Structure 1
Amino acid sequence: MKSIYQLSFGMMICVMMGSCGKSFLKRTPQSSLEESALTNKRGVNNLLIGVYGALDGQDFKDGDMTNLSGGSGYAVSPDNWIYGSVCGGDAHKGSDPGDAPAVLQIATFVGNPSNGFFNDKWRVNYEGIRRSNFVLHVLANVTDMTEQEKTELAAEAKFLRAHFYFDLKKMFDNVPWISEEDVSYSKLDVDQFKIPNDKDIWPLIEADFKFAAEHLNDVQDVVGRANSWAAKAYLAKAYLYQKKYSDAMPIFEDVIANGVTSKGLKYELRPKFHDNFDAFTENNSEALFSIQYSANDGSGGTGNANQGEMLNYPYNGPFSCCGFYQPSQDLVNSYRTDAGGLPYLDDFNNHPVKNDMNVPDSVAFTPDAGNLDPRLDWTVGRRGIPFLDWGNHPGVAWVRNQQSAGPYAAIKNVYMQATQDKYYDGNGWAPGNAINYVLIRFADVLLMAAECQAQVGSLDIAEQHVNAVRERAANPVGWVKKYIDPDNPMDGVTDEPAANYKISPYPNGTFSAKGKDYAIKAIRFERKLELAMEGHRFFDLVRWGIAQTELNRYFTYEQTITTDIAGAVFAPKNVRFPIPQRQIDLSVKGGQPTLKQNSGY
């Protein structure tokens, strides 16, 4: 799904993504293609592939991997591990405090508009938008395609454009909308791109997703291309973010009842939770839309591998880098279950899961023996528990700085030892892998539908959706199991669970008996458990209006365990990230910037 291409409209990159001198406007890059060479079916389809290629924000140039704005890949990872999960309390930055300090600034909400990570994120999303707009511009002049073919291709371009704008809206809220109609490709005037960020772009995002939902095919001939059901789910998600529950609900229910993947598979939960995070089982019946990665595919370098999470492997051991993205104790405690197999919704930190803080790896350690949700050990690497097929997590030996960021390691992004020859790419300075990132998966849809149903008062249906997710987690076939021989993990596993797993669905009628507030609390907590470390948490907390309460509670608790977030406070302004100062400076027109900073920054 990758395509690296250069066009003679380089000025657009300069204005929306960075800076360049006026002399650049007078030259055509030697390797560029004139627009006329692209105005045909083959050309515009290749341009569309280039839009898909922007989804991961990565570029392979001059033998090195960067992001599309020239910075580090991890700054713009499409899974939003920094902005969605670290900022949401799922995880610590990890590593040493002085390693990538810009991330720690963001995590503790002291990041200012000059933090380069914000500018990278802005530029990479607008690069995706630029590519989408250029597809739509070129498509209008293509003559060797039928109108239906052109409409379907336009639907894909608009779906992708809406995705990039959705990401920007979640991050910065107030962003300018630039469409193919706002750009004159014959008159390269810098000022035409200096569009204010003073309008709500939700209606425009909705319009793009609606067009895509109406005109995309259900089944696609290429794995990874968006279909109509993905567009419907994304449209419903856009409604959900605006609290338009009555609009979102029937769309989600339609996807649940009738939706199929782009390969034609009926949407359903896989028996094994980990199938969503294994390259061998990806593009399955849970994947509505995924960013496609591959490794060792003959393309050269690491251009097609997932480099956004290159830092997020256990330190030392069999991995080359780097000890970032360490799950929080607050998250781990959330997986504690009571005698009935249900979560402690309100006081989970009063039932902490045992950890190995300050326990040297030379000293014996026995993992927690209490009741636990089995999803914990597919989400968090903890001492004494199988870490995929790499062996039992040894504790501090795989942790770079335990005092700073705690004793845990991320798992969902890690490749299997058994298939590393195929799915691990070691050509870069840090690991790459072929594990897709699923932007929307079926369990997410079920929980979003449950949220809508609860908000409109249909508590029984909401409970059914939540229980479907919990029942999958309760299936022992998908639990982490003990090794036959812990010293030789590749020999396989036994039938014995690795911990005392106990999880149950909510008893029939619980939501109705306990009321709407309880149901909504349970649904929100289920999202925390099911979607942990997938980049959703911060944005969920913000749209629910509870970010300040929850994150300050998190900081108060977590800083009793680690030192990295000492003194952190979440203020009301932090519900949105600052508009990058670089972009404000570039937007000056008539002596005044057209972009306005978000309130409080």
Structure 2
Amino acid sequence: MKKNIIKGAAGLVVALTVLVIGCKDEFLEIAPTGTLSRAQLTSAKGLDAALIAAYSQVNGRGGRMSSPSNWVWGSIRGGEHNKGTDPGDFSDINPIQRYEYLPTQGVINGAYSGWYEGVARCNNVLALLADANDDVSDELKTGIEAQAKFLRGHYYFELKKNFDDTPYIDETIDYSTEVTVAEVANDKDLYPFIEADLQFALANLPETQGQVGRVNRTAAAALLGKVLIYQGKYAAALTQFNDVIDNGVTSNGKSVGLVASFPDIFKAENDNHEESIWAYQSAAGTGSVNNANPEFDLNWPYNTGANGPGNCCGFFAPTFELANHYRTDASGLPLFDRAFNLPANEVVTDQDLQSSEPFTEDAGNLDPRIDFTIGRRGIPYLDWQEHPGFDWIRNQANAGPYSPKKYVYYRTDVGTYQDNSSWTPGYAAMNVNIIRFADVLLMAAECEIEVGSMEKAREYVNMVRERAANEASWVTEYDGSGFAANYVIGTYDTPWTDKTVAQKAVRMERKLELAGEGQRFYDLVRWGIAAEDLNAYIAYESKLLINAMGGASFDPKDLLLPIPQGQIDLMGDVLTQNAGY
């Protein structure tokens, strides 16, 4: 500094000389405005604020690609939805839905960076804990550590599911110093680290929390079970799921269970219900739409005006094949082995019909969950109006005839559970369920088939189907003339003795129940049937959406996303690219 000053103008040297003579060195030591000292950050308030920042990143703020809904990575890649809208809008998603991922794609780097931002925030909390002030009790330290490790386990699980092994960075690595290649290479299995974090969380989180958005012991058991089932550790996973089923409580103290009515799962006024094991908390009217669930700001019917929600932008359109999955037989059971795609079983749509042209609605048997999962012509769209079809679809030739329906706000939510303070009214306050009880029941059923009782598995699947059969879950016509479609749903009344038959039933139920919730692609991968299932989906869908899906195919490399090329370049080729890219 002194050498640079001396080389400056003579007047500056004189001025500095006078200043130094007149003042002590401490005069120049002024903390930058808006910063916190380490002593402040290691206080109880400072540690909690750092922990809240780690929670905040769960919704992928700063980029919707790392949001917990996984609407792109789980649902679009899983064949439940397509990008929708127009081919030129957010075109970076086009290669994702066609399984033509590129290492240079911004959406892939956005997901990778968003999840690592979460990891970094958790590591910051854990590093600060090591220097916690004397007034921070051991009990508080343990509680903060358990929450931070739960969240870090979540972020690394998302990285593992999408990229396989990526660099494992914990709170012991000092970012301000040089690190070795061994410390940041992506050659270590992430699962043992994820399990260790979640085991610590399980052992140290309380049964309930003073704030409902904070994770508790039941959430840790559920997430640990999910991590274990992804590794095929069925017996260990079942132990965790049984704990949730038998003893689980939500963080606000409710015994876990199924919400009585399927649509009530997704109503903002019913947030933090008994089925909500872990949810990202959303709110409206707070002064920032980032406190809502901003990852859905594009995923609404298009051109609705005041007669529908969002009014933009037509993304996340349910696929033809997803709708066909909801066809049922005379006893109300699903159709298997892709029989739902046969011409006689396809759900009737208004594809290529203007809204002004006559349309006859589907009259066949349907699982009632179709009409709280998919917006389709002639069926009431929540409490707004009947879906008009073509007029609410931005580009039907590219997207198909359907609109998303889960995580959509009601007309009665406007101004309360919906935020009007930004460019779009499509910021809603319903929570995003990351793990809910039906998900746990169906994973437990999967484990029972592998290492337990197929009859127990049938019981769990029937519990989910019985809830769907509750007529309070069914859409009625606005004029009170009856149900909006021919809903026929039944349970599996014949004992399961064939493992293959039981597996098909559980896998089908996961799609029917959890469609649009970001699960499907990961399920297909862990079951080892992704290529078979998705190529069959492409073959069917590409005949109907030639421009969007024609010529697409799913290859073995598509099981994983590529490591972003920008990250490889930034780290000087330390990272190993996934095979095939």
With normalisation by structure 2, the TM-score equals 0.91
Q: CA deviation at 1:428?
A: 2.5
For residue 572 of structure 1, what is the amino acid of its counterpart?
A: P
> Larger deviation: 212-221 or 316-325?
316-325
Partner of 1:4: none
After superposition, the Cα gap between the structure-2 partners of 1:541 and 1:40, relative to the gap in structure 1 and judged at 3 Å, is same
For residue 120 of structure 1, what is the amino acid of its counterpart?
A: G
Partner of 2:431: 436
- State how far apart, in whole Å, the 1-side matches of 2:91 and 2:141 are: 47
Post-superposition Cα deviations, 1:329-359, rounded to whole Å, max 9, x if no partner, equal 1000000000000000111111111000111
Partner of 1:446: 441
For residue 247 of structure 2, what is the amino acid of its counterpart?
A: N
Q: CA deviation at 1:233?
A: 0.6
Partner of 1:40: 43
Greater radius of gyration (CA): 2
Q: CA deviation at 1:362?
A: 0.9
For residues 198-597 of structure 1, the aligned pairs below 5 Å read 198-297=187-286, 300-317=287-304, 318=308, 319-346=310-337, 347-350=339-342, 351-430=345-424, 431-484=426-479, 494=480, 496-509=482-495, 511-512=496-497, 515-563=498-546, 564-588=548-572, 593-597=573-577
Post-superposition Cα deviations, 1:19-54, rounded to whole Å, max 9, x if no partner, equal xxxxxxxx9975332322211111101111111111
Q: CA deviation at 1:78?
A: 2.2
After superposition, the Cα gap between the structure-2 partners of 1:28 and 1:551, relative to the gap in structure 1 and judged at 3 Å, is farther
- SS class of match (1:549): helix
- State how far apart, in whole Å, the 1-side matches of 2:163 and 2:422 are: 31
- SS class of match (2:382): coil
After superposition, the Cα gap between the structure-2 partners of 1:85 and 1:29, relative to the gap in structure 1 and judged at 3 Å, is farther
Partner of 2:26: none
After superposition, the Cα gap between the structure-2 partners of 1:28 and 1:444, relative to the gap in structure 1 and judged at 3 Å, is farther
After superposition, the Cα gap between the structure-2 partners of 1:476 and 1:495, relative to the gap in structure 1 and judged at 3 Å, is farther
For residue 258 of structure 1, what is the amino acid of its counterpart?
A: N
Among candidates 103, 107, 113, match of residue 103 of structure 2: 113
- State how far apart, in whole Å, the 2-side matches of 1:597 and 1:382 are: 42
Post-superposition Cα deviations, 1:254-298, rounded to whole Å, max 9, x if no partner, equal 11011000011011111111111111111000000000111113x
For residue 112 of structure 1, what is the amino acid of its counterpart?
A: L
Partner of 2:579: 599
Partner of 1:87: 77
Post-superposition Cα deviations, 1:82-141, rounded to whole Å, max 9, x if no partner, equal 111011000110011111111011111112100011111111111111110110111121
Post-superposition Cα deviations, 1:578-601, rounded to whole Å, max 9, x if no partner, equal 00001111111xxxx211100111
Q: Percent identity?
A: 47
Q: CA deviation at 1:145?
A: 2.0
Post-superposition Cα deviations, 1:445-475, rounded to whole Å, max 9, x if no partner, equal 0000000001125100000000000000001
- State how far apart, in whole Å, the 2-side matches of 1:275 and 1:32 are: 44
Q: CA deviation at 1:376?
A: 0.2
- SS class of match (1:421): coil
Q: CA deviation at 1:423?
A: 1.1
Q: Relative to total residues, which structure has the larger helix share, 1 or 2?
A: 2
For residue 335 of structure 2, what is the amino acid of its counterpart?
A: Y
Q: Is the 8 A contact 1:166 1:205 kept in 2?
A: yes
Post-superposition Cα deviations, 1:463-489, rounded to whole Å, max 9, x if no partner, equal 0000000000001012111113xxxxx
- State how far apart, in whole Å, the 2-side matches of 1:551 and 1:29 are: 54
- State how far apart, in whole Å, the 2-side matches of 1:44 and 1:353 are: 54
> Larger deviation: 359-368 or 545-554?
359-368
- State how far apart, in whole Å, the 2-side matches of 1:546 and 1:188 are: 44
> Larger deviation: 144-153 or 411-420?
144-153
For residues 121-132 of structure 1, the aligned pairs below 5 Å read 121-132=111-122
Q: CA deviation at 1:77?
A: 2.8
Post-superposition Cα deviations, 1:524-555, rounded to whole Å, max 9, x if no partner, equal 01000000001011111111111101000000
Structure 2 residue runs of 5 or longer lacking an equivalent are 1-29
- State how far apart, in whole Å, the 2-side matches of 1:245 and 1:303 are: 38
- State how far apart, in whole Å, the 2-side matches of 1:461 and 1:78 are: 30
With normalisation by structure 1, the TM-score equals 0.88
Partner of 1:155: 146
Q: CA deviation at 1:75?
A: 2.9
- State how far apart, in whole Å, the 1-side matches of 2:31 and 2:168 are: 27
Partner of 1:176: 167
Q: CA deviation at 1:153?
A: 1.2
- SS class of match (1:422): coil
- SS class of match (1:559): helix
Q: Is the 8 A contact 1:86 1:325 kept in 2?
A: yes
- State how far apart, in whole Å, the 2-side matches of 1:29 and 1:503 are: 64
Q: Is the 8 A contact 1:447 1:527 kept in 2?
A: yes
- State how far apart, in whole Å, the 2-side matches of 1:456 and 1:192 are: 41
Q: Is the 8 A contact 1:230 1:289 kept in 2?
A: yes
RMSD after superposition: 1.5
- State how far apart, in whole Å, the 1-side matches of 2:32 and 2:300 are: 39
- SS class of match (1:284): coil
